[in-house]
Amino acid sequence: MAKAVYIHIPFCTQICHYCDFNKVYLNRQPVDDYLIALKKEIHMTLEEAPTSLIETVFIGGGTPTALNESQLEFLLESIHQTLPTNTLKEFTIEANPGDLNGEKIRLLKDGGVNRLSLGVQTFNNELLKKIGRNHSVQQVYETVDAAKKYDFENISIDLMYRLPGQSMKDLRHSLLEFKNLQIPHASIYSLIIEPKTIFYNLMRKGKLPLPSEDVEADMYQFIIDEMASYGYKQYEISNFSKPGLESRHNLVYWNNESYYGFGAGAHSYLHGIRSSNIGPVNHYIQAVNAHRLPKREKRSLTKQEQMEEEMFLGLRKTAGVSVSKFTQKYGIDPLHHYDKQITQLVEKGLLEVGDGQIRLTKKGLFFGNVVFQSFIEV
């Protein structure tokens, strides 16, 4: 039974230069029709695959807080009307610091949201412009202060490194500013250049000055050391939190557990089947209004594929993969099944085995993709 729900809001007031998520400009979009269709999709899905226990809801995008107050209120009411939210432990919404005013924050609080994830990326106004963000550093401070006034304590921010023209000095400044905000969580990602993005086109033209791989590695090591010195535990390759305030929702993904995905382009994992929704907003609405689930693709995973995912998703966590839980779940001891891969990776200093766990070493954190690839059969 899935205990987690992801809800996708694909609308943005501005498209970031690095973003390859399913998104569209907000202007002239059928937002109200989309929200009605979203409510219908949740209802139809729960009729087909019911659950009585939902522990986490994550509203992502796009930019969910680009919705106006009445639209946000309708969305939150829809969630409570269609899902068993009385068992919720974590209810997160992604937000752009420039979009959140006092009225929206109050709506979120009254609507049961108890965790905010703010897309900050950097505390350098010039870098914000370079990457296509439309908020300012000042708006970050104002948003966090306003959220705290409404008793939001569980606040996370996203930061990025390896940005065009970014220096170690810039990164150090951003981490210090994060520390000064006194919030419990940060997700800190290296910039990845994805196809069909503005940055990808610039890179192909030789017009994207990125830090070298050596500098990127230095930045990551600096982040790990600095966050530890602030009292934040690294519990996943890119995530840091105060004890007990890890993202419950994201841990569902890394633990390879089931979850519902609703909205245009959203992904689900239910009963060993991974599926994705239709991406274009109007096509999504049309499918739901025709009383059919808006699925674009469905794929049933073999037991081997499920075990592969258990390994490479679980190894993202610093705690690693539990040998006993893996064995209980699949009836196979991973130390025996993946003996060759684990032995080779231990010899290279990328993996370690101990206390019933298989985990990345400190060196392995820098070569995660090499480790993960080792567990995928070609």
Domain residues of the chain, as ranges?
A: 4-254, 321-374
Q: Where are the alpha helices (DSSP H) in the chain?
A: 31-48, 69-82, 102-110, 125-130, 137-149, 168-181, 198-204, 213-229, 248-254, 281-289, 303-314, 323-330, 334-337, 339-347, 368-374
According to the model, what pLDDT value does residue 98 have? 86
Q: Which amino acid is at 32?
A: D
Contact 10/24 with Cβ under 8 angstroms?
A: yes
Q: Which amino acid is at 320?
A: G
Contact 216/161 with Cβ under 8 angstroms?
A: yes
DSSP state of 366: G
Is the CATH number of domain 4-254 3.80.30.20? Answer: yes
The CA distance from 300 to 306, in Å, is: 10
At 299 the three-state DSSP class reads strand
According to the model, what pLDDT value does residue 378 have? 45
Using alpha carbons only, what angle is made at residue 260 by residues 254 and 261, rounded to the nearest 5 degrees? 95
Q: Which amino acid is at 183?
A: I
Q: Which amino acid is at 239?
A: N
The CA distance from 210 to 189, in Å, is: 15
Region at 291 (left for phi over 0; alpha for psi -120 to 50; beta for the rest):
left
- The sign one gets for the Cα dihedral 6, 69, 46, 89 is positive
C-alpha distance across the termini of the chain, in Å:
30
Structural tokens at position 160 = 């990025």
DSSP state of 98: T
At 167 the three-state DSSP class reads coil
Give 57's strand partners.
5, 91
Q: What is the mean pLDDT of each run of 10 residues along the chain (378 residues)?
A: 94 85 90 98 97 96 96 98 97 94 96 98 96 95 97 97 96 98 98 88 89 95 98 98 97 98 98 97 98 97 97 98 98 97 98 98 96 86
At 28 the three-state DSSP class reads coil
The CA distance from 185 to 242, in Å, is: 7
Q: How many residues does the chain have?
A: 378
At 3 the three-state DSSP class reads coil
Question: CB-side exposure of 148: number of CA atoms within 13 Å?
Answer: 11
According to the model, what pLDDT value does residue 23 have? 86
